[in-house]
Chains A and B, each alone.
Chain A
């Protein structure tokens, strides 16, 4: 090195963390790396908010335009399934939070336990969701692929208090079901991704990867999982709970 114009400081001054094996070369300290990772994750979640945002906008508009159709569509949702699924997701969020806590406590056994329970909850959720979709398919409620307005222009004995819709409005139930399938579909896709990542994480956790102080992966995955939970927290009242009293 000839000479240098800018004042520098030796790169070896890494602070008290020294050369942690997890520290990548372009970060100065582990804390810096960790903060960068969770900041990055949050920015990613912002994009997710906006991604769902487009669909929520559509939902708000159409719900106001075709309120009767949305009520009628919503009454075909299986209440017990929706409620159960909400509960399942909340439980999984709790176990996920506990998983992060266990990683923090460097408790490998507990981490494995909580991740495994979270995984099970995730799978149960997807199972119930699949059951519901199957039900809707049977009832010809899938716009585009398998749809009939029959259920909405006639009184159904299962919902005797629902007044039948005019054919015109009954067509608009497709707006409801289109959004229903988009929203729950994209949400389920996120769940599927989450469940797959969980399997990988479980494997790594089993080998003790996250209980030696390097836990950004678990932390970030937790953020993702909670976010998916939050989306469902909104989907549940918006799709299942429209005017249940009617």
Chain B
């Protein structure tokens, strides 16, 4: 059995496909592409797939991850082409890597995520909010109420925000990948983007929307439902080398886009 991790994008109308339906979608893709996928044992065998971190309905992404199990080791490039040839437009395999046999699931490895948020038309805070938000995020203590399974807890968001900026779309450059540009044909080039690199995964998960929500509350403004358009740039796992700890995209085995924090 060979474990493979895929990196894919989710863009355009398919952003409204829910998590479970995306799973079913990939099961069909694998069948159409005739991938040598491994099936579980038992009377109704199924494909063993798992996502790194579910993306909320309506959000787009250039950095989603899916782990799958195959019977034989594929040629990575051929696998990507094979899958993309039967893929629906809007979902595209961007990268893939073969994993070590005992490697943990993507889900348990997620440690950080890079996000871009924009306000939907008519739902922006009052003009001039960009500077106010910059000042807000510069503070040392950013208290927020986090809902957990056991109730509510007060947390400080600040240590969970690794990098942050508010910048016009045309000037946005990826934090981990300096070549990364934010492309979305539906958005104006000058729209203000809230660009965050935050802690993610199960332990110290920070929903990017929480930053905006608390900011607006402090400004005395009510955030309207669905005010934020959310885009994930990438998802990262943690690593360590002689230079210190870093975050790296989950299929970037060569460490091309490591980011030291």
Q: Do A and B bind each other?
A: no
